[in-house]
Amino acid sequence: MKVGVLTGGGDCPGLNAVIRSVVRKGVQEYSFDFVGVRDGWLGLLKNDVVPLDISSVRGILPRGGTILGSSRTNPFKHEDGLRRVRDTLAAHEVDALVVIGGEDTLGAATELSRQGIDLVGVPKTIDNDVSGTDYTFGFDTAVGIVTEAIDRLHTTAESHMRALVVEVMGRHSGWIALHAGIAGGANVILIPERPFDIDQVCEQVKRRFEINYAPIVVVAEGAVPKEGQMILKDQSLDEYGHVRLSGIGEWLAQEISARTEKDARTTVLGHIQRGGTPSAFDRWLATRFGLHAIDAVKEGDFGRMVALRGTRIVRLPLADATGENKVVDPSLYDEFGAFYG
């Protein structure tokens, strides 16, 4: 059997660990042949496929990003996309795919599976918003990076007695903001799941200044003020219909300055959250996902996604995993209310 491997959507730490475990187990235990698809679905549209073997994946476990490249390509937004995908797979005699991606990449995989293409999905995203799995790899690393940034920002905020607004990733879900905000001792945490009251935010900032404390506000990029709309710098859409989020942190800092008459600055962590070497947990989870994904290929259990439930790796239908985003439970957000609200 020949298996293709692709990584789609935004890069994140742990992608190479999945590729490595899929190839190593597939070759050593099942005698499979492998090819890597360059730049996600784009590689199947452009017939850009490279050989993969054990030597190709040697030494990549601690590397961030993906050796295969990635893109936010939606094959169904391109002319004859389905036919071109089929033609590339047939030209390279690929029998099945291991598709590593987030909500959009796996959503495309779900439709391709319905069209008869044999594939198995592996969930990845730093946002941790793929349904059906307790965690996605990449999330733990991102939380660690953001927490370290908040730790550093505390000292400069205190030195100048100014409020610092930290904008982090999180389009639909506030998992990074919540986890890193709590771990970093933030005073206000704003997430997409709950529209915020700017007056309450400013009141909390004022109270911190009154006790000679420089406040830290952590805001997910998709957070929205009550009776308002999402703050955007760029209205353009990608191939999955998403806008490029940015601007809420800058807007918040301006509002805080105007309403409290205190200095407020913005730090947008952006792509630094996705870069660098994966944490030990993400290497562990990504490796397990890869091992179980290639088992599913061996067993012909296609149209499924591997997922973490507790400490077990399970399989579930791709359609169930991509039907909706996994958002922060309101009770979990409220649990920490005394610390920041």
Residues annotated within the binding site for diphosphate are 10
Catalytic annotation, pick one of 11, 104, 118, 127: 127
Place of tokens 């190479």: 16
Q: At what angle do helices 280-298 and 15-30 cross, to 10 degrees?
A: 40
How far is residue 275 from each of residues 124, 246, 262, measured CA to CA in Å? 14, 18, 33
Cα-flanking dihedrals φ and ψ of residue 336, to 5°? -100, 10
Q: Which of 187, 192, 193 is nearest to 213 (CA)?
A: 187
Which DSSP symbol is given to 228? S
Q: 275, 282 in Cβ contact below 8 A?
A: no
Binding residues for Mg(2+), as ranges, are 103
Binding residues, as ranges, are 10, 103, 125-127, 162, 169-171, 221, 265, 271-274
Cα-flanking dihedrals φ and ψ of residue 100, to 5°? -110, 115
Tokens found for residue 181:
């905000």
Q: 101, 40 in Cβ contact below 8 A?
A: yes
Binding residues for substrate, as ranges, are 125-127, 162, 169-171, 221, 265, 271-274
Q: Where are the alpha helices (DSSP H) in the chain?
A: 15-30, 41-46, 81-91, 103-114, 139-160, 175-183, 198-210, 248-260, 280-298, 318-322, 330-335, 337-340
Q: 9, 101 in Cβ contact below 8 A?
A: yes
How far is residue 253 from each of residues 216, 218, 248, measured CA to CA in Å? 11, 11, 9
127: annotated active-site residue? yes
Q: What is the 3-state secondary structure (H, E, C) of 146-181?
A: HHHHHHHHHHHHHHHCCEEEEEECCCCCCHHHHHHH
| Residues noted as catalytic | 127
